[in-house]
Amino acid sequence: MIAFFALVAVWDDMHNIATGDSFRSRAIAARALSQPPLLHQLLSYSTEVEGYRMSNSSHINRQRLLERFLRYVQVETTANPDSEEYPSSPGQWTLGKILYEELRAMGLEEVEHDAHGLVWATLPSTAGDGASNTLPTILFNAHVDTSPDASGANVRPAVLERYPGGDIPLEKNGKVIDVASCPALNQLIGHTLITTDGTTLLGGDDKAGVAAIMELAEHLLEHPNLPHGPVRILFTCDEEIGRGALHMDLAKAGAAAGYTLDGGGQAEVENENFSADQMTVRAYGNNIHPSIGKGRMVNALRGLSKLIAALPTEALTPESTEGRDGFIHPYSLSGAVDYAEAKFLLRDFVTERLDDQALLLQATADSLVQETPGLRFELVRQRQYRNMADAQRSAPHVVDFSIAAYKNLGLTPHLGAIRGGTDGAVFSEMGLPTPNLSVGQHNIHSVLEFASLDQMVLAIQHAIEVLNIWQQQGRS
């Protein structure tokens, strides 16, 4: 996660290479939450168990968590967009096997490394047999692959205990993580930070999530007095190249709600992302030798260029928008005189506005046809993914519980909206509402990437509190 100013960074566009969309993180707007009445109500749920809850959950085994994280980031799991295989790189099998073995050794149930490389496990409810049947199953998900934007080979993590503030010089290539371009550092003084040696990415995106979920599982096993319903664990592959949800099996997940631990910093809940379609515009012209083209040639390439030029540039473009504003983005153009083709991304947080964007393209094409006899356009719209808020509208408690859990830990939660897609959006659309939560990632997809161990600990404490709230709700 790239965090800057009040914007919080994020996530890889889930959507794949064929569309030309980039998988880089997008800046997203975050806003502090007011506290609706429901949340006040939720706050009171956990007060009765607060004493013992805090005495147990606050003692997360930091050293073991750190060792896990360091172990996982050293496995090269770079996703390969050019591969047809699933997972797209052999290291994802390797890490999956490690996680499978560790989960089995811990004594989790239904531990499986499936035919696609996904790792599944179940932590049974701590409630008695009768009650556990009525408690909702909650799924925690993280992805094992890392971004192809920077090398993930021979990652040599460096641990900086009690960060004193200021710029952080890395061991190699003269690289420096500087406060000016990463002001989030100002909030991390005293934290244990893990950086790279300057030659690779770290892979905290999303091995911070993987390590946190693994430590959560072991912590809950060691503290059977912490109340929770059934917990399902799922580690997915190839999220960074838009294939993370490809082999998600909803029936196998068997969960009422999910949370991806794949977010930046701390106390962010990302519950919105772009809705997305792709539009292919085909232009048909008429080719003839240019020497005798007068009055007879119809240039499809010129027609399509005019169409792109006629679109707004001061708004509705990636170059001119941020926060919650959507855009029409032409990202590919090819062709000749008789035929040309362009591809556009349509993006907005309000799904209906994709229709407006499509209409604008159609109207622009129609007017060009009017002024250029013989020119013809064909527009083909392809559905991509939807704002997870659409699917989560029927289950607002999934986000509310996570917000309440942050407040119970004394943190100020923020809601974020992702200018891209996420696996959670696909899970949500499939029927499993799945917002994304912070897990201490910073400067992702870069050799300047680092992670905060303290924020990973907070993510685990938060997950414990989320489960506590869920089991109280499930009893009613």
Instruction: Provide the annotated active-site residues.
Output: 145, 239
Contact stretch for Zn ion (CB under 5 A) within 40-48, 107-115, 162-170, 202-210: 202-210
Q: Determine if 449 is a binding residue for Zn ion (CB under 5 A).
A: no
Report helix angle 37-45 to 47-57, nearest 10.
Answer: 60
Nearest-angstrom CA–CA distance, 310 and 363? 11
Nearest-angstrom CA–CA distance, 162 and 386? 41
Q: Which of 13, 21, 145, 262 binds Zn ion (CB under 5 A)?
A: 262
Considering the complex, state which of residue 122 and residue 441 has its C-beta at the smaller distance from Zn ion.
441
Considering the complex, state which of residue 206 and residue 454 has its C-beta at the smaller distance from Zn ion.
206
Nearest-angstrom CA–CA distance, 371 and 298? 12
Q: Determine if 206 is a binding residue for Zn ion (CB under 5 A).
A: yes
Contact stretch for Zn ion (CB under 5 A) within 50-58, 101-109, 206-214, 272-280: 206-214
Among residues 460, 400, 452, 374, the alpha carbon closest in space to that of 202 is found at 452
Q: Which of 21, 76, 205, 268 binds Zn ion (CB under 5 A)?
A: 205
Burial of 221 (0-12, 13-18, 19+ CB in 10 A): middle
CB of 240: closest distance to Zn ion in angstroms? 7
Size of the site for Zn ion (CB under 5 A): 3
CB of 436: closest distance to Zn ion in angstroms? 9
Task: Provide the H-helix boundaries in 292-395.
Answer: 300-310, 353-371, 388-392
Contact stretch for Zn ion (CB under 5 A) within 29-37, 189-197, 261-269, 332-340: 261-269
Q: Determine if 145 is a binding residue for Zn ion (CB under 5 A).
A: no
Tokens of 185: 């550092």
CA 183 to chain centre: 22
Among residues 345, 248, 13, 274, the alpha carbon closest in space to that of 149 is found at 13
Contact stretch for Zn ion (CB under 5 A) within 22-30, 56-64, 225-233, 259-267: 259-267
Considering the complex, state which of residue 121 and residue 201 has its C-beta at the smaller distance from Zn ion.
201
CB of 421: closest distance to Zn ion in angstroms? 12
Eight-class DSSP state of 415: E
CB of 233: closest distance to Zn ion in angstroms? 17
CB of 88: closest distance to Zn ion in angstroms? 15
Q: In this structure, are residues 192 and 162 in contact, taking their beta carbons and an 8 Å threshold?
A: yes
Interacting residues toward Zn ion by CB under 5 A: 205-206, 262
